[in-house]
Structure formats: C-alpha cells, structure tokens
Structure 1
Amino acid sequence: MIEYANILLVEDDITLAQWVTEYLQEHGFNVTHIARGDEVVDCVKQNTFNLILLDVMLPGMDGIDVCKALRQFSHVPIIMMTARADEFDEVVGLEVGANDYVIKPVRPRALLARIKAILRMQETNPVRSVNELVFGQLHVNADSKRVSFKGDNVELSTSLFSLLWLLANNAGTVLDRDAVFKALIGREYDGLDRRMDVLVSNLRKKFNDNPQEPKKIKTIWGKGYLFVADAWDE
C-alpha cells in the first residue's frame, strides 16, 4: 500500500530534511534520510525503496550524477528537488531518468500529491503480456529495457524509454498530452508544462527523426503525439 512505502530522502539541508521526514511520516511513509550524494548508490543497493526524493545540489556527488548512477541498475521512481526553476534543470533531470521534479521552497501538500501519484501509478500499471515490440528495424524490449535500431543499441534514459514504450504500444493512435502525462507522470497536464515536448524532441534525436518534418514520431497539432508504425523500415 502507498501509506507504507519506503522513501529515501537525499537532502543536505538538515532543517528541510527534518520537516519533510516528519511530514511524510505523519502520512504513513517510512523515511530514510541521507545528506550526501556519494552515499546514495550503496544505500539503494543495500535497501529496498519505493521512491527517492533527490536534491540536485549535494555534497560528494550532485543529484544529476546520482540519478545517472542509479539508472545503471535501478528503476525506482525518482523525484528531483531543485531551487532552480529554469529549463536546464528540468531537461537534464528528465534526460538522466528522473520521473518528476519539484521546485523549492517545497510545498508539503504538493510534494505529497506528487509522491502519491507516482506510487499509485506504480501500483496500478498492469503487467503487460507483450514485453517486446518490433516495428521494422526498431526493437524495444520492456524486460531488459533495451532498444535497438538498424542493428545498433540505442541508449535511452528511463523517461525516454517509458515514453517510447507508451507511444509504441499505441502505434497508429494519437495520444493527447493529458493521456501521456497521466501514464508517465501520474497526474493531469496543466496546460503549461513543456516536459513532454522536450522528451518527444529528445526521442526524435535518438532516431534521427527530422524535427521539422518528423516521420516516425509526429506531433498532431491540437491533438497529441502519433507513433507511425510503418516509418521504421528505412
């Protein structure tokens, strides 16, 4: 159950870490706190966590590098916390595999809502009967999280893989932004967040899909995104 989830909080601001820990414990979560980035990998390997709250600016190793290191062996959901509200943090964080992010100062109820949304999505996502998809020269394996195109392996972050898997599973169907947000982030599209546009753009780059006239992953203006099944034979 969500209320008994184990959360790892990585935050060097002791005052912030204390109130976040107390707040989440009051709502039924088990919270483990560490203050250094270079301690995270060992901690995750030695314990089981349902979600990680990860600050960007940390001693020992910054949050971006921590996220990269974790994604080498773990798919536990990660929410990054940043004091910088610029697009750089958003784009980089998503590219290295973060599931979501929050801007400091952290609002308790908003943070709790983000956590519950991601954990609920993890609980309710059904196990797929199909674990591998093939479209022309594109091969996508959900179990190994491996992607190959034209015989070459394509390295994708967790967020990019999740987006590709979602679109490919709905090949030929236009998915609107709200549906994509609900599936990948666990909440509705607010009309302002550009992260999906950023992820789609980055996914196109991985497959040399012309951003001006994309053929493989199209944006249908006013409607959403379309994975074109017969465009992967080239």
Structure 2
Amino acid sequence: MSGKQKILVVDDDKHIAELISLYLEKEGYDTKEAFDGKEAVKNVAEIKPDLVILDLMLPGLDGYQVCTEVRKSSNVPIIMLTAKGETFDKVLGLELGADDYMVKPFDTKELVARVKAVLRRYEPKEPGDSNILRYPNLEINFSNYSVTYHGKGLEFPPKEFELLFYLAEHPNRVFTREQLLDQIWGYEYVGDTRTVDVHVKRIREKLSQEDEWGILTVWSVGYKFGQK
C-alpha cells in the first residue's frame, strides 16, 4: 500500500464491502477488504490500518470478538456496522473498544464523513500546543498517545486517551457529559451520555483511585479532573 491512510473494511457481504471501499478510495484512502472475523484480525496485524470498519455479524468471529482480539495488540479506531433489527449493545461495543457505530442501511456519504471525523480526531496537535501534561505519578503525551503511570507505560484506546487528556488539560473544570461527548466524539457522533460514563469507568480501572489526582464525579453535573 502507498503512504495514504489505510482503512480495513470488514463485511461478509462482498457487495457492501466493495461499495464502501469504492467511496473511500474516491476520497483518497487506501482500502483492504476482509470477509470474516479471522481474516479481519489477521489483516489488522499485517497491514496495520489507520481505521477499521467492522460489521457486527461475521462468520467465524463476530464483530464483538474481533474487537476484543484487536484490542489486545492495537488501538486502531473501529467503527462498527450493524443491520437494522439486529441486536446491538452499544455499551458493550464501547466497552470492548469500538469508537463509533452505524446502522444499516446507511448513507455511504455519512459513513465517509464519520471516517473523516474519527481520523481527524486522531491527528497530532500542531507544533506549539501543549502536548505533554504532568501530574504526580502521571504523564500524558498527546504527541504519541502515551500514558506513563508510576513510571510504567499504560495502553489506552484513542477515545479513552483523548477523554483523559482533555479533562487533565482543564484541571478542576467541570464538564457535563454532553460537553464531553461533543468535544471528544464530535458533533457527527450520534450517541448518548452513557458513552462518556463507559469510558470514564475504563480509565478509572487503569488509574488507582488512591492517587492525589484523578477523574472525579460531580453529581448531577458531570466530571472533572482534580485533587481528591
């Protein structure tokens, strides 16, 4: 593949996969298609895509299982696809590490817009921005999406990282869930405030609640990063 951003399209319906790829390639992306769960996991490891579009219902491993396997070794952004009428647990998908989801049938242009929005949120900050935040026992580096905690590196999926960085970038400032949803997921995201709660829960599971600084719940309002 070239130096263009790479997108892995995973769907057992070859017609849908080819259609998505066609639209993405018109927008300047390189694409690779996979038609079952095992092939998808293999391709993520081999081609290291910049984003994965992942159908929920797949032969072999379903979308949830693929997401779980991918998250063991990669923080690549994932947009899940689900057919209208299929059982789709959005909270479970988010807990497993999906970044966004769309319901079929969907407008292909909207999917392309979602792809652009997700990739745009992962672009490095411009030079001169404050890329590194430091607190006792905690360093958050936006340049390479790394978190050092008590001297050791921690793995954070992109959305968890961005939420942590944004809150830590504004210490003691209280944000509503709606504000965080807008800032981290963007206006294109169609979701509810449970999305924020799920990600805060996952961040807290990785950072000790005994530390001096952390994400605090402000009841009936939202969250802030502050001293406990």
Question: For 1:150-229, what aligned pairs fall within 5 Å after superposition?
Answer: 158-187=158-187, 192=192, 194-201=194-201, 203=203, 216-219=215-218, 221=220, 224-227=222-225, 229=226
**Partners of 1:113 and 1:193 in 2: CA distance:** 22
Question: What stretches of structure 1 of length at least 5 have no aligned partner?
Answer: 210-214
- For these two proteins, the number of residue pairs brought into alignment is 218
Deviations 1:102-139 (A, max 9, x none): 1122221221111111112222545775646435xx64
Residues 154 and 86 (structure 1), Cα distance of their counterparts in 2 relative to 1, 3 Å cut: farther
Question: What stretches of structure 2 of length at least 5 have no aligned partner?
Answer: none
Residue in 2 that maps onto 1:17: 17
TM-score (norm 2): 0.74
Q: Percent of aligned positions with the same letter in both sequences?
A: 35
RMSD: 3.5
Residue in 1 that maps onto 2:50: 50
Deviations 1:152-173 (A, max 9, x none): 9988655434423332332201
Bigger drift between 153-162 and 91-100 goes to 153-162
Question: Counterpart of 2:8 in 1: which secondary structure?
Answer: strand
The question of whether the paired residues in 2 share the 8 Å contact of 1:174 and 1:220 is answered with: no
Residues 41 and 24 (structure 1), Cα distance of their counterparts in 2 relative to 1, 3 Å cut: same
Question: For 1:1-234, what aligned pairs fall within 5 Å after superposition?
Answer: 4-83=4-83, 89-123=89-123, 125-126=125-126, 131=132, 133-135=134-136, 139=138, 141-142=140-141, 145=146, 158-187=158-187, 192=192, 194-201=194-201, 203=203, 216-219=215-218, 221=220, 224-227=222-225, 229-231=226-228
Q: Per-residue deviation at 1:46?
A: 2.1
**Partners of 1:182 and 1:125 in 2: CA distance:** 18
**Partners of 1:85 and 1:184 in 2: CA distance:** 28
Q: What residue identity is the alignment partner of 2:15?
A: T
**Partners of 1:144 and 1:75 in 2: CA distance:** 10
Q: What residue identity is the alignment partner of 1:226?
A: K
The question of whether the paired residues in 1 share the 8 Å contact of 2:178 and 2:193 is answered with: no
Residues 189 and 76 (structure 1), Cα distance of their counterparts in 2 relative to 1, 3 Å cut: closer
Residues 46 and 207 (structure 1), Cα distance of their counterparts in 2 relative to 1, 3 Å cut: closer
**Partners of 2:46 and 2:191 in 1: CA distance:** 40
The question of whether the paired residues in 2 share the 8 Å contact of 1:71 and 1:158 is answered with: no
The question of whether the paired residues in 2 share the 8 Å contact of 1:147 and 1:153 is answered with: yes
The question of whether the paired residues in 2 share the 8 Å contact of 1:12 and 1:34 is answered with: yes
TM-score (norm 1): 0.73
**Partners of 1:124 and 1:190 in 2: CA distance:** 24
Q: What residue identity is the alignment partner of 2:69?
A: A
Bigger drift between 5-14 and 190-199 goes to 190-199
**Partners of 1:195 and 1:203 in 2: CA distance:** 13
The question of whether the paired residues in 2 share the 8 Å contact of 1:220 and 1:226 is answered with: no
Residue in 2 that maps onto 1:212: none
Q: Per-residue deviation at 1:141?
A: 5.0
Question: Counterpart of 2:89 in 1: which secondary structure?
Answer: helix
